Structure 1
Amino acid sequence: MTVTSRAAGWRRAITGERARWLVVVAVAYYLGARLGLLLSLVEENVTPLWPPTGIAVAAFVILGRRFWPAVAVAAFVVNLPVSEGLLPALATAAGNTLAPLVAALLLERLGFRRQLDRQRDALAIVLVAICSTVISATIGSLALAWSAGIPAGQLPATLAVWWTGDAMGILMVTPFLLSVPLFRELPSWPVRQWIELSAILLVVVVASSWAAQSLQVIFLSLPVVGWAAWRFQLRGAAPAALLASVVTTFSASRGLGIFRGRPLLDQMLALHTFNACIALTSFVLAALVSERNSATAALQQAAADLEARVEVRTAELSALNEQLETEIRERFEAQEQLTQEEARAKREHDIAETLQRSLLPPQLPVVPGIEVAARYVPATSDVQIGGDWYDVLQLPDGEVGLVIGDVAGHGVSAAATMAQVRMALRVYALQNTSPSSVLHSVHGLVSQLPMPEMVTLLYAVLDPRTRRLRVASAGHPPVLTFDAAGAHYLEVGLAPPVGVTAEAYYDESTHLLQPGSTLLLYTDGLVERRGTSITHGLDRLREAAAAVAAEDLERLCDHLLASMIEPSRVADDVALIAVRPQAVPSGPLLVTVPAEARMLSQARGSLRQWLRDAGVGADDETDILVACGEACANVVQHAYATAPGDLVLEARIDDDLLQMWVRDRGQWRVESDRGGGGWGLKLMQALADTVDVRRTGDGTVVHLSRRVSIGAQDGG
């Protein structure tokens, strides 16, 4: 009984709230109509500025289209006294209701935001105002002509005035009403801004009154309205544009100034042109300024967040550097009396190389659709840490990001710079897949941070399935691609290293790789030799790569290093990545990864790509990934308690039967020591047709099977 009473009370509250808003909308529409009729040019009900249409559109945008009855009733009440009978009044009211309804629907379909803080929103409201009001103008004009309210010859002029009035109502009144809630939603203004806006609005009234008197200065209001839009965006642009339109429309309705003695159509053309220019100037400029402000705020926040992360990482590197220097000093003092000077130097070099490698990816990710191999060779001339690095990123939609970079110089400073740039690039790459945009963002960061070293950088994005490659370079050696037919360097736009100039533009080129081709990204230490032109080194690299194009990537990398550098004469660090897109697999899936939590995403990504290439439906894909993920997570948590091991994932599809096996070679802890659980198995049983868990002395095998739907997939 209590629940029923509460539900009834809520329904009454909701119904009462809607009733109040229906009354508010109807009253606002009626009052706006009475004001608009004061400016009528044809009979008593055709005006060049019809505020009710703007009021109705604003109500539908803010409150919803379900408030149309209030508009319909108010429109009928307004039109009945000025129409030639009941039927014309009903027809006109129907047109006045249908036009704003269509306008609100079009705005919704166009993704319109009532804050009008995007350029597309300003253009959308102008387009909708022009198009939707044809409905009310046509119905209303025909109703007047049919009821003999106007002569038939006056129909075009009446339609023009009606259309102008309704369109101007949307263009001028709707943005003003939409701006009213912003005064509560956005930060409040100080007193000086209110004074400034009041002064601007006063200047708008004076300028519009003066401009309406002479054709030579009719657009004098435009810079003042633009000023309001620039300073206060929609909250200033909307009232300024409305005031300019009302003053000019009043002059037109009274035949004052430039409108005196002109035909009605000429008056409407001049008035509509003026109001359209005012609307476009104010709202488009306000939207552009809002977009700029939003983008600036977002960039400042992103830069602040990134700088905080960089500071933390820099502090960690500084602490590591201090620890390393202390260790080296202590070891040097302890071994100073030893006679084997060379063996002491070798140990210090090993320490520096270990630190360098700790800043590189500990293991290349397993990326579906490509083979990847990488090498890093430190300089042998000293024990300083270098700034060369590489990275491989798994991006959304199955793409892979390839990074190769070189920080000039050696030492902890170069390593710290490399770590900051690498971290920043990973962040930007996950936000935007465009290589040119990523380099531009990295350039902006490096330009603001105190980084004395010069940084060259190349970033490429490869789609393994289409073999489409997008590349952008910041002063880095070009990408080499080769296959059995030969080798050549990809043409990439020239641009300076990041951070060396105030402004920089990084061109992005797109290439389609041939089947079986291999990509090579490298640092200049591979091709540059003192006293020899770098062109000679690039030619040598192209010839060496073409000679081993058919080798697997690991042997290919070893061969290139052996061909290009002499271990005893490595003057600069060398880093390289070799990438080869694979053919889309059509057979079973076999993935082997270390049984570690960080490798679960790679196993999941490989399975997802294999399912999509096999055409498995989206619903089946989601359930399969969850079920398989539970089985893999159990291996990571329970299989290898004392020593590390591998996780093996196998899958195949026979007709529409998908079978998967998740294997390990560990010894699971007993259930009483696992701290609860059992939900993973229940979840697998809920998502798969059959689940079989077999434990033997050699490990555990989880077998899952499920009937799946096979069809064409986008693979997104």
Structure 2
Amino acid sequence: MAAVVGIRDLRRPAVFALWTLAVAACYYAAGRVGLLRRLVVDGAVVTPVWPPTGVAVACLLMFGMRVWPGIALGAFLVILSLTSPRPDAIGIVLGNTAAPVCAYLMLRRVGFRTDLGRLRDGLALVFLGALTAMLISATVGVGLLVLAGKLAAHGFWLVWLAWWVGDAMGVLIVTPILLLLPAVRRRPRMSRWREASVMALVACGLVPLATHSALSLLFLVYPLLIWAALRFQLAGSMLCALFTSVMATVAATDRTGPFERLSGVQVMMKLQAFNGTMALTALLLSAVVTEQRNTRLYVEQACQELVEVLKHLTAGDAPPGRAPTGGDDGRRRR
């Protein structure tokens, strides 16, 4: 018995270490991807979309609070790849860890469901997980930059806005896609594959045109998002939103298409406004469609059960769980 207990005690730290390293690796990889495309706003480098926040919130929702050390380690590794570990950098790590943790706690408090099958789940992810919780990381990060003398005080609000929207966009775009991964095992029908292939071809042609054309055709992506949400719910709409956001970010950082001849601030404002409205449209519309679909399925199931009960009653069968009483009535008549 002592040997078994000793093995279990050794397994627990080993499993915890593996969880921590796995989450840290995912966070760091997402951070390196996010840093591939950056904007300079008032002398500070910001990312229009910060994927690590989406990774952190998704990991907490799927695996619980035990993964928060991995988030902290991943944030530290990202900061370490950019600068030396100074006190202000450590504070930024704490802020980037506290924001996803607060998002998880608030979402758990309101009964958030990771399948995003209800409109209330989509609204909770938007207003609690993204817009409210990410105020922490933006305020702590930009405030420490000002205190450390790396950012002028007059540039606080502009950089704070870019930081906040970038973190929130990571939650709005990346978190829903990661939460859908457990449902990938389901194999759709062949007709659905054909429609999905057609939609993917249309997206590959339409999205680059809309994001790189000098005619400002960004509005063309919204019919594509509506199509994806109506036919493929969250999976289709969020994948389209992710692809569109990547292409728009590439165009903005290259200063091409609708972002040509704009200042750094104008590029940031236009890109983040477009990404925000697009992600909100995809997430909330798909949540509404999914909720209506689930409601219809529940009603159809209830109607089927009612039909089965009526068949038993019209056939003279006894209701389930109750013994027949015909014999007793016969004895009374005799």
TM-score range, shorter chain: 0.7 to 0.9
Paired residues of 1:179 and 1:238 also in contact (CA < 8 A)? no
Counting helix residues as a fraction of each chain, which structure ranks higher?
2
Aligned counterpart, 1:220: 220
2:184 corresponds in structure 1 to 183
Matches of 2:194 and 2:18, distance apart in 1: 34
1:62 corresponds to: 62
C-alpha distance in 2 between matches for 1:112 and 1:205: 33
The answer to which structure has the higher strand fraction is 1
Q: What SS does the aligned partner of 1:112 have?
A: coil
Question: Aligned residues, how many?
Answer: 316
Aligned to 1:208: 207
Describe the shift of the 1:158–1:52 C-alpha distance in structure 2 as closer, same or farther (beyond 3 A): same
Work out whether residues 95 and 140 of structure 2, in 8 Å CA contact, stay in contact via their aligned partners in 1: yes
Are the counterparts in 2 of residues 88 and 147 from structure 1 also a CA contact under 8 Å?
Answer: yes
Distance 1:205 1:273, change over 3 A: farther
Structure 1 residues 289 and 44, CA gap change in structure 2 (3 angstroms): same
After TM superposition, the score normalised by the length of structure 1 is 0.42
Residue 20 (str. 1) matches residue 27 (str. 2): no
2:145 aligned with 1:147: no
Is the 1:57–1:103 contact (alpha carbons within 8 Å) kept by the matching residues of 2?
yes
Deviation at 1:173, TM superposition (A): 0.6
Q: Please tell me whether the aligned partners of residues 52 and 170 of structure 2 are also in contact (alpha carbons under 8 angstroms).
A: yes
Bigger radius of gyration among the two = 1
Q: Which residue of 1 aligns with 2:100?
A: 100
- 2:157 maps to 156
Percent identity (aligned): 38
Cα-to-partner distance string for 1:336-356 (whole Å, 9 max, x where unaligned): xxxxxxxxxxxxxxxxxxxxx
Given that 2:79 and 2:93 are in contact with CA atoms closer than 8 Å, whether structure 1 keeps it comes out as yes
CA distance in 2, matches of 1:96, 1:120: 26
The residue identity in structure 2 corresponding to 1:111 is G
Cα distance in 2 for residues equivalent to 1:113 and 1:162: 27
Contact 2:75 2:97 in 1 (8 A): yes
Deviation at 1:259, TM superposition (A): 1.8
Aligned to 1:132: 133
CA contact (8 A) 1:117 1:290 kept: yes
Paired with 2:20 and 2:196, the residues of 1 have a C-alpha distance of 32
Which sections of structure 2, spanning at least 5 residues, go unmatched? 320-334
Task: Give the deviation of 1:28 after TM superposition.
Answer: 0.7
For the residues of structure 2 that align with 1:155 and 1:273, how far apart are their CA atoms? 19
Larger RCO, structure (CA 8 Å, separation 6 or more): 2
Q: Take 1:52 and 1:45, find their aligned partners in 2: how far apart are those partners?
A: 16
Q: Deviations over 1:211-244 (max 9, x none)?
A: 2234642121111122112111122222111111
Moved over 4 A (4+): none
**Matches of 2:250 and 2:289, distance apart in 1:** 30
Q: Measure, in 2, the Cα distance between the counterparts of 1:26 and 1:259.
A: 34
CA contact (8 A) 1:36 1:47 kept: yes
Distance 2:15 2:194 in 1: 36
Structure 2 Cα separation of the partners of residues 170 and 156 of structure 1: 21
Q: Is the 8 A contact 1:160 1:268 kept in 2?
A: no
CA drift of 1:124 comes to: 1.1
Show the counterpart of 1:51: 51
Q: What's the TM-score once normalised by structure 2's chain length? A: 0.86
Distance 1:99 1:39 in 2: 23
Letter of the structure 2 residue corresponding to residue 159 of structure 1: W
SS at match of 1:220: helix
Aligned partner of 2:309: which letter?
A: R
The 1:153–1:256 alpha-carbon spacing in structure 2 relative to 1, beyond 3 Å, is farther
One-letter code aligned to 1:144: L
C-alpha contact 1:28 1:55 (8 A) present in aligned 2:
yes
Evaluate the alpha carbon distance shift between residue 14 and residue 131 of structure 1 in structure 2; reply closer, same or farther with a 3 A threshold.
same
Report how far residue 15 of structure 1 moved. 3.9
Which structure 1 segments of 5+ residues have no match? 318-422, 424-716
CA distance, structure 1, for counterparts of residue 145 and residue 261 of structure 2: 25
Kept in 2: contact 1:84–1:149 (CA 8 A): no
> What is the match of residue 268 of structure 1?
268
In angstroms, what is the RMSD of aligned CA positions? 2.4
CA displacement, residues 4-56 of structure 1 (integer Å, 9 cap, x when unaligned)? 43344344444433322221110110011111111111368521110001100
Following TM superposition, by how much is the alpha carbon of 1:195 offset from its aligned partner in structure 2, in angstroms? Answer: 4.4
Give the SS at the match of 2:250: helix
Structure 1: how far apart are the matches of 2:221 and 2:95?
33
